[in-house]
């Protein structure tokens, strides 16, 4: 058979290779401490499960959803955004239900990118930004995120010839994989930059509810005029521990939301209605569980950072996400250090190079495992003589 040329442009998805390696070692009897994929180990709140059970056998649950999602779900999203960010959204044309935000992000490229169009992509970043660009025939232009710039892109030094061809600018704060955060002043700069350069600003806000030490992340849509140039992607995955449920939303600029819904209506049939109804319960029901879960992740973060610092690292505690972006020892690469941790300690982390060129020199720990396993990981590293 002859595969498409676009398929040859992309590597195997990062986490597929990691899962394969993990499975191989487990078959050999290795006890793996898995800091790999960011999949919360805490349960989906009981009230969401109860709602799902209640609606599963309803007459309408198995019917096709609408292209933009059930109006009741979009209305719940609108109310949630108003309560959380004081942002007004029209559920009719400024909200689209998604089969998880990853799906929506991937489909967005086909609504806006033609061959040789440029997409401004942060580096390191969630791999879908780059891969989605390539699949649509576009060209990614990478914006370095470094410790020196606090993992914030430098918009002022993008060449004029690149800006002429650029259509999309991606931002993701709180950030995966670095755990960095951005303030409203940066979001305002992005909005003005998008206005001046005729760009669609794409904000990935998957981690907005994972803030620690009193920190509350912002939405770019809080900036006056943002809806003229911005679309924001959100998900119930991390907020309510619903990664496998696959339910999210795109909100913001009506033209962009409608364009995305048009692509989706031709390529998928929308999120399962029963899951959308359960999603309404998540957004509208008791929210105390979010703060409770954050306390759990905050405690795990503290144990990991304190443990790494006891081994010679000098790291500050991230304010958001459940990721810890750890610089590797000077003599190591991202891949070699990840391999050493796996072989010597049975610890699985993700090489930073998998997130882009500027991810080299780091590994990502996802604190989605119990505190006692994090303590055990630090013990193993100390016993193996691993230091910063």
Q: Are 204 and 174 in contact (CB under 8 A)?
A: no
pLDDT for 86: 98
Is the bond preceding residue 97 a cis peptide, omega within 30 degrees?
A: no
* pLDDT, averaged in runs of 10, over the chain (388 residues): 86 69 84 91 96 88 88 98 98 98 97 97 96 96 97 97 98 98 98 98 98 97 98 97 96 98 94 95 96 98 98 98 97 92 93 95 97 98 96
pLDDT for 58: 84
Q: Are 206 and 233 in contact (CB under 8 A)?
A: yes
CA angle at 302 for the pair 297 and 306, rounded to the nearest 5°: 150
pLDDT for 171: 98
pLDDT for 138: 96
pLDDT in tens, 276-303: 999 999 999 999 999 999 999 999 999 9
pLDDT for 15: 64
pLDDT in tens, 182-193: 999 999 999 999
The count of other CB atoms within 10 Å of the CB of residue 272 is 18
pLDDT for 26: 84
% helix, strand, coil for the chain, step of 5: 45, 15, 40
What's the pTM?
0.96
Q: Are 109 and 200 in contact (CB under 8 A)?
A: no
The structural domains of the chain, ordered by start, are 5-43+288-383 (3.90.1150.10), 46-284 (3.40.640.10)
Q: Are 348 and 32 in contact (CB under 8 A)?
A: yes
d(CA 361, CA 384): 21
CA atoms within 13 A on the CB side of 134: 14
Sign of the dihedral defined by the CA atoms of residues 109, 115, 121, 124, in that order: positive
pLDDT for 115: 95
pLDDT for 187: 98
pLDDT for 209: 98
């Amino acid at each position: 058979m002859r595969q498409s040329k676009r398929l040859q442009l992309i590597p195997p998805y990062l986490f597929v290779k990691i899962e394969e390696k993990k499975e191989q070692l487990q078959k050999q009897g290795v006890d793996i401490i898995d800091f790999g994929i960011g999949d919360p180990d805490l349960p989906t709140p009981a009230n969401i499960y109860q709602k799902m059970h209640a609606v599963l056998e309803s007459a309408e649950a198995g019917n096709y959803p609408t292209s933009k999602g059930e109006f009741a779900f979009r209305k719940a999203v609108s109310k949630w955004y108003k309560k959380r960010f004081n942002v007004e959204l029209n559920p009719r044309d400024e909200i689209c239900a998604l089969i998880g935000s990853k799906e929506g992000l991937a489909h967005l490229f086909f609504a806006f990118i033609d061959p040789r169009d440029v997409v401004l992509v942060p580096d390191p970043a969630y791999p879908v930004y780059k891969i989605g660009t390539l699949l649509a025939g576009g060209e990614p232009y990478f914006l370095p995120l470094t410790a020196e710039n606090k993992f914030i892109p430098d918009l002022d030094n993008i060449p004029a010839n690149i800006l002429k061809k650029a259509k999309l600018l991606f931002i993701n704060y709180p950030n995966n994989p670095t755990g960095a955060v951005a303030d409203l002043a940066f979001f305002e700069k992005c909005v003005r930059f998008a206005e001046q350069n005729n760009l669609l600003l794409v904000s990935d806000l998957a981690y907005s509810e994972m803030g620690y030490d009193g920190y509350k992340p912002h939405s770019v849509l809080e900036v006056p005029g943002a809806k003229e140039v911005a679309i924001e992607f959100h998900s119930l995955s991390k907020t309510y521990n619903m990664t496998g449920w696959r339910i999210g939303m795109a909100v913001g600029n009506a033209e962009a939301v409608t364009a995305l819904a048009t692509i989706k209506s031709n390529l998928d049939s929308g999120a399962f209605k029963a899951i959308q109804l359960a999603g309404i319960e998540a957004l509208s029901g008791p929210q105390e569980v979010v703060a409770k879960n954050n306390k759990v992740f905050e405690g795990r973060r503290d144990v990991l950072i304190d443990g790494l610092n006891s081994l010679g690292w000098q790291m500050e505690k991230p304010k958001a996400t459940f990721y810890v972006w750890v610089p590797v020892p000077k003599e190591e690469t991202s891949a070699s250090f990840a391999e050493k941790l796996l072989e010597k300690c049975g610890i699985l982390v993700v090489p930073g190079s998998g997130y882009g060129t500027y991810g080299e020199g780091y590994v990502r720990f996802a604190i989605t495992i119990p505190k006692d396993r994090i303590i055990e990981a630090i013990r193993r590293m100390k016993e193996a003589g691993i230091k910063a």
